[in-house]
């Protein structure tokens, strides 16, 4: 198992939003990974000072914010209040540290033939959405709602002017419900907190008449659950 990990060096750590760090991992093992926007890596976040955590091989999943086939990728990690191994790793990691990960992999992928694209999720979902939005042509029709804890947690997304950022918890569903969408279904990408993703899918399918095939859902986290992937 261990030898399937790719290894790189942490070469940049910067705040990309108030509660989120953009962390760059670089190195020859990261060249030509065949990255597709929306995919993620599974990062080893075990604390090297705690041998038991290494033995258990703590992994946490992070979307790739940006990638260069010359051998670097960026992840953006939210420093949330219940900080588990992932958020703690983002606080502890330093330039020059080795980072080990599996992937990239994942099924949160753009459907290029969609009449329009609907993005809904929270600030963790915005990392994958950012990569996906950058990959869309400027002419693509985009709608979306992103929930963050405040304006300081907005990410610099392409086509941000076509997205609505909201800051009140529990209002993502209402905000999607109030979107003025075209009459026909497009394709929806739903990510972030698990129950909210399910509620938005239920709205699209049950109230707007979308087919389940039109909705790509990827729950990223759930209260009380640890390390979803
Ligand atoms: C496909 C995929 C892509 C993901 N991409 C990203 C990404 O780009 N950036 C990112 O930051 N995370 C992302 N996540 C979530 C990430 O994998 C971790 O779940 C998250 O960082 C929490 O890990 P942790 O070890 O800090 O906490 P854990 O030990 O996993 O969880 C501890 C507790 O913290 C709480 N919690 C977890 N996440 C949040 C949150 N966002 N807000 C509030 N409370 C929370 C929950 O109550 C949880 O029980 C992604 C997850 C998946 C499945």
What are the E-state strand segments in the chain?
6-17, 20-26, 40-44, 59-68, 72-78, 98-105, 117-122, 142-147, 164-166, 187-193, 215-221
Q: In this structure, what DSSP letter does residue 71 have?
A: T
Say if residue 124's pLDDT is above 80.
Answer: yes
Is 48's pLDDT higher than 70? Answer: no
Confidence (pLDDT) at 55: 61
The response to whether residue 40 sits with its C-beta less than 6 Å from ligand 1 reads yes
77 pocket-lining for ligand 1 (C-beta < 6 Å) = yes
CA 177/CA 198 separation, integer angstroms: 14
Would you say residue 229 has pLDDT above 90? no
Pairing of strands 98-105, 72-78: unpaired
Tell me how far the alpha carbon of residue 41 lies from the centroid of ligand 1, in angstroms: 13
Q: For residue 58, which atom of ligand 1 is closest to its CA? A: 25
pLDDT number for residue 57: 62
Q: How much is the average pLDDT of 86-93?
A: 96
**Separation of CA 43 and ligand 1 centre (Å):** 12
CA distances (Å), 29 to each of 73, 86, 184, in order?
11, 22, 44
In Å, how far from its chain's centre is CA 113? 22
pLDDT above 60 for 183: yes
Q: How much is the pTM?
A: 0.96
Give yes or no for residue 62 CB within 6 A of ligand 1: yes
Mean pLDDT of 149-172: 94
Please indicate whether residue 124, judged by its CB atom, sits closer than 6 Å to ligand 1. yes
CA angle 14, 18, 22 (to 5 degrees): 30
The alpha carbon of 220 and the centre of ligand 1 are apart by a number of angstroms equal to 6
Say if residue 1's pLDDT is above 60.
no
Q: Which residues contact 66 (CB under 8 A, 6 or more apart)?
A: 73, 74, 131, 134
Say which residues have a Cβ less than 8 Å from residue 96's Cβ, sequence separation at least 6.
9, 10
Which domains does the chain carry? Answer: 2-105 (2.40.30.10), 117-221 (3.40.50.80)
Closest CA to 43 of 73, 15, 68: 73
């Amino acid at each position: 198992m261990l030898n399937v990990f790719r290894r790189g060096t942490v070469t940049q750590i910067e705040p990309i939003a108030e509660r989120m760090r953009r962390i760059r991992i670089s190195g020859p093992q990261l060249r030509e990974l065949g990255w597709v926007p929306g995919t993620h890596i599974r990062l080893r976040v075990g604390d090297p000072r705690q041998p038991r955590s290494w033995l258990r091989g703590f992994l946490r999943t992070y979307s790739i914010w940006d990638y260069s086939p010359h051998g670097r990728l960026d992840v953006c990690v939210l420093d949330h209040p219940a900080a588990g191994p992932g958020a703690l790793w983002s606080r502890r990691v330093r330039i020059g540290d080795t980072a080990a990960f599996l992937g990239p992999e994942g099924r949160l992928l753009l459907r290029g033939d969609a009449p329009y694209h609907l993005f809904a999720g929270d600030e963790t979902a915005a990392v994958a959405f950012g990569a996906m939005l950058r990959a869309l042509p400027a002419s693509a029709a985009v709608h979306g709602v992103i929930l963050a804890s405040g304006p300081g947690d907005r990410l610099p997304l392409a086509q941000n002017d076509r997205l609505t950022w909201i800051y009140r918890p529990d209002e993502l569903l209402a905000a999607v419900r109030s979107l003025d969408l075209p009459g026909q279904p497009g394709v929806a990408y739903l990510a972030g907190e698990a129950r909210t993703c399910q509620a938005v899918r239920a709205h699209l399918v049950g109230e707007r008449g979308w087919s389940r095939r039109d909705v790509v859902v990827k729950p990223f986290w759930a209260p009380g659950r640890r390390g979803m992937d």
